[in-house]
Chains A and B, each alone.
Chain A
Amino acid sequence: MKSKKTIEGKIERALESLDGIQRATPHPWFFTRVKARLQREEKTVWETIGSFLSKPAVAMAGLGLILILNLFVLFKQGNLQEATNVANQPVQLSDSESILASNSSFDYENVQP
């Protein structure tokens, strides 16, 4: 019985413990810290670009574009290769042409003073 009364008394005291409470205050220079935080959170141009590019839709579209460009370049390369192969095929020189080449070399080395 006594114990119950004691506990009831403690409960009442606890419930009244916030009467006359004073407002808590933050540490000094609070505004300076708010300003610093604000500056940290203000996005730079590069951060804005980065966050735009990291959007899933933009990222997927960019990836798709890169893939298409790659395929285009590969296709183009294939065509070019074919054309180069045709161009690089050994040419059958005629006898006269060989002689001409030989002559030019000879002429070069034996330049008359």
Chain B
Amino acid sequence: MDERLLVNQLKQGDETAFKTIVDTWQDMVYNTALGIVQNAEDAEDIAQEVFVQVYQSVNSFKGDSKFSTWLYRITITKSLDHERRKKRKKRFAFVKSLFGDESEIVIHPPDFNHPGVVMDKKEDAAALFNAIGQLPENQRLAFTLHKVEGLSYQEVSEVMRTTVSSVESLMHRARINLKKILEVYYKEKD
């Protein structure tokens, strides 16, 4: 179905158009959020939030970029906001625990297993996701969009509002950092 037509119908409050939009892009939004936050429940929550925002602020979409690019940007913003909130909560819980409040226990999440990874690669992928989580934000986003969502460098650059060469550079640095993190991880493990 024509993207522009769908958006225009949604702008007029067409519920069927909204359903089509959700059905068409729910996997993309959910998978992107999952790649960033690495938690299925949180990713589902974020994906819902994204579509609620799409419904409420579709009028602000001017059509300068592709609709999917706009969706990616909302998803990334919401996922990063979610992570920041979570980190703040963790820090607060840690400070509380310093003052002897045992009710706030810091829970370390188990290794994340992406459901789309082939069975015999699950363990390696869990180690990689753990390393991705330690990358600087921009490198992490570029790597996740390219490797988990399968976007080309051109598409990643459009989503991140940057140039293709910047994405190439981000990917190169991400690989170097990932190698360092994984090296430490495997040395400790052995």
Residues of A within 8 A of B (CB): 3, 6-7, 10-11, 13-18, 20-27, 30-31, 33-34, 37-38, 41
List, in ascending order, chain A residues with CB within 8 A of B43's CB.
24, 26
Cα of A37 to Cα of B55 in the assembled complex, Å? 11
The minimal Cβ–Cβ distance linking A44 to chain B, given in whole angstroms, is: 16
Cα of A25 to Cα of B127 in the assembled complex, Å? 22
CB pair B48–A34 under 8 Å, yes or no, is: yes
Query: Which interface class (under 10, 10 to 19, 20 to 34, 35 or more) fits B?
Result: 35 or more
CB pair A14–B117 under 8 Å, yes or no, is: no
| CB-contact partner of A31 in B22, B56, B179, B183, under 8 A | B22
Main secondary structure of the interface of B (DSSP, over half): helix
List, in ascending order, chain B residues with CB within 8 A of A16's CB.
124
CB pair A14–B128 under 8 Å, yes or no, is: yes
A/B pair count, beta carbons within 8 Å: 98
6 contacts between A and B (CB under 8 A): A18-B148, A23-B31, A24-B34, A26-B26, A38-B52, A41-B56
CB pair B186–A26 under 8 Å, yes or no, is: no
The minimal Cβ–Cβ distance linking A37 to chain B, given in whole angstroms, is: 5
CB pair A22–B116 under 8 Å, yes or no, is: yes
CB pair A37–B48 under 8 Å, yes or no, is: yes
Residue of A20, A22, A26, A33 with most partner-chain B CB within 10 A:
A26
